[in-house]
Amino acid sequence: MIFLASEHKGEIEPLLEQFPFEKRGDHYIYDNLILYINHGKGALPLAFKSIELSLSHNVDMALLFGLAGSVSDFSIGDLVSVSKVKLMDTSLKPAYNPMELITVKGLKSAECITLLSGFNFDSEYIGLFGDVLDREAYFFAKAFKSLDKPCFVFKVISDENDRASINDFKKENVDISKFAELLKLIMWIDKNELTREIFVNTGFMNKKLIDGLKRLVHKRRYTFTQRQFLYKRLRINGSKCEKKTFKAKAVFLEKRVKTGRAKFKTEKIYKINDYVPVFHNLKDKTAIIYANKKGEFLRKTPNNYTPNGGHGYSILGQYNCIYDCSYCFLKGYFKSFNPVIFLNFEDYFKAIDEVIKRDKTRPLYFYAGTFSDPLALSFASDFLVGLIEYFGKLNDDVFLEIRTKSDRVEGLLDLEPYKNVIFAFSLSPESVIKEYEFFTPSLERRKMAIEQLDSKRFRIGVRFDPIIIDYLDDYYELLDFAKNIKHLHSVEVGFLRFDKNDYKNMLNKEPCALKDLEFDRGMYRYSRKKIDRALEFFKARFDKFYLSMEY
């Protein structure tokens, strides 16, 4: 059974004319479809009534349909499938917990903002957080999440979030025939438990394709686990890695930050009380956030992470990046992919001092670049320079490793080349850079940056991590280059890997990066056979390297 809801009768009235509904008290019934119209009572009454009707009718999945204002580049009349829904109060302050929704193939995807009350026509600001506006989607989605039922939200763009378009709006001018056709297909899908399962797990809206998958599953007698594996492979193999450029349209400044340390300037500056809800709700790559870090400043790395096979500490000085590597685990780790720059530098130095006194491991490694690319973000603050100079005053057996894909080294060449500061460059063949590492410097530019630092006697690390095994033969040239670095500190080899939670999130965000990975030793990674073959390739061509997080 399908539950379909709409806030206003005018939004969905054409459906009442196309389908022979029978009125049953406060709702309508047709075939395997229940329709409820809320008649403008508001989001919470809609959510509670939806739960009541869904429980009494044993509903399998829920659809919300309505009209929405656009704060993005959608056109009036577009039918969109909502991928994420967020909540904002009357002062446009976002709530903490945006919700991911199921989307269907073949429709435009949109992030929706549910406004608690009133209108706000500041599209430039709201557009940093979402694409379309409504009043009820967040609470509807929350209701069905509590029931653990599949939930879909569909919107037809009715206006452009300005007074003129809203005042001139006429519902009869909005065509919902596309949704009517979509609804007929979903009703067909819902009549069979397996076709419904295929739809919910893949988002496929092609009747012939769904029917073919149904026959395949029956013919091979797939178990539930085998079916779930099939759905994942379909999503992964059917996806493409898409570029998303970083466009810093705004800067958010948290209260009490030292604004003189924020180097990036823009006309759009918003002062905020707390960076966390803003960070969680922003659309990807739309802004830079400056904040003071609270709580955890350092995080202990896993074992087998350092050149000596032990543990180190990641410095949580920044989050995210300006690049767009498809395999970047941060896309699955954080709710948004916007850079966060922390400006309370002294708190980090204090935390590092405390760890050095407490942890007697030597050599002891600290990593800048586990959760960001500090060299790529060096345009935004002076933290990296301050960190280098701070470590230069420490003993030579306490190391700072700066992990990067950037070639932004000009401002560092006049610094002292401290023995305990390592610039560790992630190197990939040009074929991998073009396929996966969007907007990063080319291989030649990275090599030039290494050569500049090497000529100034800086210590260099080379990191082949993650290796994309499909391109293994293309690593020949990189190994030859690494051999000729005069001040080479170490070479690391690592392979693409995700923990369970990051893998699940990446399946929704960047499934193209998950090709050929399987669950082994607590993580999704390449098979042992593939990893062993790659290791033999490196051992045959390079004298010494260390392996990160594999054995």
312-357 pLDDT, tens digit each: 999 999 999 999 999 999 998 999 999 999 999 999 999 999 999 9
Residue in the structure block whose two tokens are 């180190």: 312
For residue 518, what is the enclosing H or E element?
strand 518-520
User: What is the mean pLDDT of the segment spanning 434-451?
Assistant: 97
Residue in the structure block whose two tokens are 């608690």: 116
CA 502 – CA 334 distance, rounded (Å): 9
pLDDT at 21 over 70: yes
- Extract the runs of DSSP E, i.e. beta strands, from 326-458: 340-342, 364-368, 398-404, 421-426, 437-438
Per-residue confidence band for 378, with pLDDT thresholds at 50, 70 and 90:
very high
**Neighbour tally for 22: CB within 10 Å:** 8
pLDDT at 56 over 80: yes
Position 164 scores a pLDDT of 66
CA 258 – CA 166 distance, rounded (Å): 42
Per-residue confidence band for 440, with pLDDT thresholds at 50, 70 and 90:
very high
Buried b (16+ CB within 10 A) or exposed e, 102-124: bbbeebeebbbbbbbeeebeebe
User: Three-class SS of residue 163?
Assistant: helix
pLDDT at 117 over 60: yes
304-319 pLDDT, tens digit each: 899 999 999 999 999 9
Position 359 scores a pLDDT of 97
| Residue 156 main-chain phi, psi, to 5 deg | -105, 130
User: What is the mean pLDDT of the segment spanning 123-142?
Assistant: 95
From residue 479, give the alpha-carbon distance in Å to each of 432, 462, 464, 490.
15, 10, 10, 12
For residue 87, what is the enclosing H or E element?
strand 79-88
Considering only residues 164 and 455, tell me which one the structure prediction assigns the higher pLDDT.
455
User: What is the mean pLDDT of the segment spanning 259-275?
Assistant: 93
**Neighbour tally for 476: CB within 10 Å:** 12
Position 543 scores a pLDDT of 86
Q: How many residues does the chain have?
A: 551
Per-residue confidence band for 540, with pLDDT thresholds at 50, 70 and 90:
very high
Per-residue confidence band for 458, with pLDDT thresholds at 50, 70 and 90:
very high
pLDDT at 119 over 90: no
**Which residues are CB-neighbours of 368 under 8 A, at least 6 positions away?**
315, 317, 374, 384, 387, 400, 401, 402, 403
For residue 10, what is the enclosing H or E element?
helix 9-18
User: What is the mean pLDDT of the segment spanning 445-453?
Assistant: 98
What CATH class has 2-191?
alpha beta
pLDDT at 551 over 60: no
User: What is the mean pLDDT of the segment spanning 370-392?
Assistant: 97
Considering only residues 195 and 171, tell me which one the structure prediction assigns the higher pLDDT.
195
Position 168 scores a pLDDT of 64
Q: 338, 377 in Cβ contact below 8 A?
A: no
Respond yes or no on whether the N-terminal peptide bond of residue 441 is cis (omega within 30° of 0). no
Name 318's bridge partners. 341
177-192 pLDDT, tens digit each: 999 999 999 999 999 9
Residue-averaged pLDDT of the chain: 94
Name 66's bridge partners. 155
User: What is the mean pLDDT of the segment spanning 218-234?
Assistant: 96
User: Three-class SS of residue 452?
Assistant: helix
Of the given ranges (266-270, 393-397, 488-492), which has the lowest mean pLDDT? 266-270
Per-residue confidence band for 171, with pLDDT thresholds at 50, 70 and 90:
low
477-525 pLDDT, tens digit each: 999 999 999 999 999 999 999 999 999 999 988 999 999 999 998 999 9
Of the given ranges (245-249, 405-409, 423-427), which has the lowest mean pLDDT? 245-249
Sort residue 516 into left (φ over 0), alpha (ψ -120 to 50) or beta: left
- pTM, entire model: 0.93
Position 120 scores a pLDDT of 78
pLDDT at 165 over 80: no
Per-residue confidence band for 294, with pLDDT thresholds at 50, 70 and 90:
very high
From residue 73, give the alpha-carbon distance in Å to each of 23, 132, 464.
38, 10, 39
CA 229 – CA 216 distance, rounded (Å): 14
What CATH class has 250-547?
alpha beta
CA 110 – CA 126 distance, rounded (Å): 13
CA 468 – CA 444 distance, rounded (Å): 19
**Alpha-helical segments (H) within 58-162:** 123-126, 137-146
Position 291 scores a pLDDT of 98
Q: 459, 451 in Cβ contact below 8 A?
A: no
Domain coordinates in residue numbering, the chain: 2-191, 250-547
User: What is the mean pLDDT of the segment spanning 14-21?
Assistant: 92
Per-residue confidence band for 426, with pLDDT thresholds at 50, 70 and 90:
very high
Q: 549, 304 in Cβ contact below 8 A?
A: yes
Considering only residues 111 and 242, tell me which one the structure prediction assigns the higher pLDDT.
111
Instruction: Work out the percent of the chain whose per-residue pLDDT is above 70.
Output: 98
**Which residues are CB-neighbours of 475 under 8 A, at least 6 positions away?**
429, 464, 467, 537, 538
Considering only residues 13 and 251, tell me which one the structure prediction assigns the higher pLDDT.
251
Q: 427, 478 in Cβ contact below 8 A?
A: yes
Position 173 scores a pLDDT of 60
CA 130 – CA 138 distance, rounded (Å): 13
